[in-house]
Structure 1
Amino acid sequence: MLGLALPPLLPERHLATFVLFALTATVTVGVSLLMGYAGQVSLGQAAFYAIGAYAAGLLAVHGVPSLLGLLLAPVIAAVAAVLLGAPLLRLRGHHLAFATLAVQLILLSLLAQADWAGGAIGLQGIPRLTILGYELREDLGYAYAASLVLALAVLIARNVIVSRAGRALRAAATSETAAAASGVPIGRYRLAVFALSAAMAGLAGGVYAYYLGYLSPGSFPVLLSIEFVVMAVVGGLGTITGPVAGAAVVIVLVQVLNTLATRPGMPGYAPAVLSYAVYAVVLILCVLYLPKGLVPALRRATRATAPDRRQS
């Protein structure tokens, strides 16, 4: 609800940042679900973000109604995740992380060579998103659309966590051997969560494509996948609001440092260097002082001060 109430209150110049924040947070919710509950590390989540974006963009360019393209984007991303996840999820730990990273690198290489996807130049002329005959042209409309996408991702993640499958995933993340001995179909559940996280990324990618109207392989660098992981860790893995908080903290820091880096007298490479520095410094500080993330730390602090409030 807060996400829907916030866009009208923001200045026009901040609406674009809010749209990108909501889309990034949507992908990060899926990453937190995958890492925090299924115990699987993915360094290639931006690949499914790109698949959803290109799927929606290509469908729209070829005459498919944009709303239908947006609905198909998460489906296509989820199908790709199932096809890729069936062999990849046999891997564990850093082997899986490197395999997902390789998937993104291969995808970016294919997109750069594919003329039907615009090649290295990019896919241009993507129409705006049209919902029930109303075409979204202003940033405010996309801010609402991105907020709805984020709210949907949070709602789905919350329902999954409290379900029987969610409890089984938590048990598997704690002890895979014990969960398997209890009859939990670990492989099937992990593949389902992998596909669900990809679908969230694909849905966010669809909105991203219609919002920008242009896509290129450079829009989905490897650093983007690392950003998603950092945001999930900073906010708190295994939580629902953690990814949203982590995305907000990191994006605000990046925007502040970018503003400082573009001031007169700063070297041209300052924005890129400071952006990389944000992820490195924030991740190090989080691991050292907030190992479970920001949201769990705030919850512990709130519980610790609650008795003092009752006494006062």
Structure 2
Amino acid sequence: MKALIVVVAALVVAPLLVPEKHLAVFILLVLAAIVVAGLSLLMGYAGQVSLGQASFYAMGAYTAGLLSTNDVAPVLGLLAAPVVAAVGATIIGLPLLRLRGHALAFATLATQLILLSLLSKGDWAGGAIGLQGIPRLSVGGYEFREDIEYAYLAVAALVVTLVVTRHLIDSRAGRGLRALATSETAAAASGVPVGRYRLAVFALSAAVAGLAGGIYAYYIGYLGPASFPVLLSIEFVVMAVVGGMGTIVGPVVGATAITVLVQVLTNLGTRPGMPEYAPSVMSYAVYALLLVLVVLFLPRGIVPAIDRLRPRAKVAQ
């Protein structure tokens, strides 16, 4: 609980300390942390694997964008984004969640590829050109224009996500989810409705991603299939693994570490003399290297590793 309070306090202060030129990166970092929080809940607590979380991010973004460009109040578009993503996940999850392990991972990845194909071919979504002219978010006549306003909007969404996740994990349903991750057979024998819980947490993680996607749509003002590549889903998984799956603050730690690393790689890959494909290739290579290092030396992620060091430090004192 103390760690969560510290993280929330840091998030509230951060927009005031981050230089204005870096606020855009900070906003994307916080939005990624929101998605990863849902993914950590799905993979860390419920034991389900998803390589297509960016598809629900895209669902939320396109829901908000399409509604707003068709004269629906932007605030309603933002509220609809997580709902549509959750409904989509429920429809998709009914057949997919019969799968396990690698089969489920590849199925979720295939879902994203199908969605990207539909978006690139569908005139209703702007096709390959993308959806343009998305208005700024407005609530009760107040319009969000400045980066710092979107930064605090994203921070508010992340804080709500973390608090809800904390209360869920501490509840009876949360204990059922932890049992589910340990052994589905044992959980079912203990009376846990395995199928219903699997579907519910899948939909909840999608809703969280959809909320982040809705904020992204209003902040950027443009959406295209290229905004949600497969690499983005892999990035979310890497963030969850590095930060520590099955932890409350792990998503924030993982998103921060990977976002900073991506920025460093991007700056390095775009230097004069570097080929155009350098940033992408370097990202894939570093993601793979990070996963190998984390699995070897920090199998549970950064946050659990720090938690294990605390008792040792007290003993040493």
Residue 174 of structure 1: aligned partner: 182
Within-5 A mapping of 1:192-271:
192-271=200-279
1:24-43 matches, within 5 Å, as 24-43=32-51
Shift of 1:266: 2.6
Match of 2:169 in 1: 161
Give the CA deviation at 1:131.
2.2
CA deviation map 1:210-265 (0-9, x unaligned) = 00000001111111111111110111111111111011111111111211222233
Q: Which amino acid aligns with 2:157?
A: V
User: Deviation string for 1:107-137 (max 9, x for gaps)?
Assistant: 1111111101101110000000112322111
Identity score, percent: 68
Q: Is the 8 A contact 1:254 1:278 kept in 2?
A: no
Aligned pairs for 1:292-307 within 5 A: 292-307=300-315
Structure 2 residue aligned with 1:284: 292
Q: Is the 8 A contact 1:35 1:238 kept in 2?
A: yes
Q: Distance in 2 between matches of 1:259 and 1:188?
A: 45
Q: Within 2, Cα distance between the matches of 1:269 and 1:103?
A: 26
Query: Match of 1:4?
Result: 12
Aligned to 2:95: 87
TM-score by length of 1: 0.97
Q: Which stretches in structure 2 are left out of the alignment for 5+ residues?
A: 1-8
Q: Give the equivalent residue in structure 2 for 1:140.
A: 148
Give 1:46-195 correspondences, 5 Å limit: 46-195=54-203
Residue identity matched to 1:154? L
In structure 1, runs of 5+ residues without a counterpart are none
Alpha-carbon separation, structure 1, partners of 2:247 and 2:17: 27
**Residues in 2 aligned to 1:239 and 1:110: alpha-carbon distance in whole angstroms:** 35
Give 1:197 shift.
Answer: 0.2
CA distance in 1, matches of 2:229, 2:278: 19
Offset from partner CA, 1:39-78 (integer Å, 9 cap, x none)? 1001111110000000000010011111111011000100
- Are the aligned partners of 1:250 and 1:278 in contact in 2 as well (CA < 8 Å)? no
CA distance in 2, matches of 1:132, 1:241: 32
What's the Cα RMSD here?
Answer: 1.0
Q: Distance in 2 between matches of 1:219 and 1:159?
A: 32
Equivalent residues of 1:57, 1:206 under 8 A apart: yes
State the 1:5 CA deviation.
1.2
Farther off after superposition, 15-24 or 166-175: 166-175
CA distance in 1: counterparts of 2:285 and 2:156, whole angstroms? 31
**Partners in 2 of 1:251 and 1:230 — Cα distance?**
11
The residue aligned with 1:274 is: 282
Q: Given residue 248 of structure 2, which amino acid in structure 1 is its aligned partner?
A: I
Q: In the alignment, is the contact (CA less than 8 A) between 1:45 and 1:201 conserved in 2?
A: yes
Distance in 2, Cα, partners of 1:69 & 1:192: 23
- What is the DSSP-based 3-state SS (H/G/I as helix, E as strand, rest coil) of the residue aligned with 2:113? helix
Deviation at 1:303, TM superposition (A): 1.8
The whole-number CA distance in structure 2 between the counterparts of 1:96 and 1:71 is 29
TM-score by length of 2: 0.95
